[in-house]
Chains A and B, each alone.
Chain A
Amino acid sequence: DVKVTQSSRYLVKRTGEKVFLECVQDMDHENMFWYRQDPGLGLRLIYFSYDVKMKEKGDIPEGYSVSREKKERFSLILESASTNQTSMYLCASSSGLSQETQYFGPGTRLLVL
């Protein structure tokens, strides 16, 4: 079974803080993704990575950065958290095969005060 884990289920941070969200997958997947999920807006892709040290912007990268130093780990960084970044953050991974889909972690619910 594919396992994608996220470092925290719930986080409360203050405006301006630097926030790190970590994701680890145990299936040797090439691709990893960070999404945020908001009511009425669905899942929106923030960044994805198709290899170690490689990253590409998704649909809403502003205010975020990412790091992938090891294949199994993909970090999302909020450089200076703002209240409009309060959301559910979901990490996913997939193999490099066309026919394979994405597997999600349990999510991190972030509240920025």
Chain B
Amino acid sequence: QKEVEQDPGPLSVPEGAIVSLNCTYSNSAFQYFMWYRQYSRKGPELLMYTYSSGNKEDGRFTAQVDKSSKYISLFIRDSQPSDSATYLCASSYGGATNKLIFGTGTLLAVQP
């Protein structure tokens, strides 16, 4: 079993839809949770970052972590064609070397 599991998609939604992207993880020692966005042929860029359980909101994006069920979510409101990308979830124990464990990524297409 992979430590971080993510549905690869692809996920196709119409413009303006609410998008829900999800990951599960197996190691209860993970403390930090991230979402990266990766456009085609580019490097991943950090989108959202949360510590432990709870919600974090940034504009149209909300990240949610439920440590009791080991579930990580990213919600995108009013989705735009420019949101079309691969979304990677990642988890970390923290610590000085801060190694990340990544999901395989979900490919999202927002249709105009």
Contacts and interface: CB of A to CB of B under 8 A. Distances in A.
A90 B43 contact: yes
Interface stretch (B57-65, B66-74, B89-97): B89-97
A42 B96 contact: no
A45 B103 CA distance: 12
Contact-residue bracket for chain A: 20 to 34
20 contacts: A4-B43, A31-B98, A41-B104, A42-B88, A43-B44, A43-B88, A43-B102, A45-B99, A50-B96, A50-B97, A90-B43, A96-B96, A97-B98, A98-B94, A98-B95, A98-B96, A101-B92, A101-B98, A105-B43, A107-B41
Given A50-B96, A98-B94, A101-B92, A106 B42 contact: yes
A102 B45 CA distance: 9
Given A96-B96, A99-B51, A107-B41, A42 B46 contact: no
A102 B100 contact: yes
B108 interface: no
Given A98-B95, A98-B98, A105-B43, 8 more contacts: A40-B8, A42-B88, A43-B102, A48-B99, A96-B98, A101-B46, A101-B49, A104-B36
B32 interface: yes
B94 A99 contact: yes
A93 to B, nearest CB: 10
Contacts of A102: 46, 98, 100
Which residue, of A43, A97, A109, has the highest number of chain B Cβ atoms within 10 A?
Answer: A43
A104 B45 contact: yes
Contacts of B100: 101-102
A74 to B, nearest CB: 14
Which residue, of B90, B99, B103, has the highest number of chain A Cβ atoms within 10 A?
Answer: B99
Contact of A31 (B34, B97, B103): B97
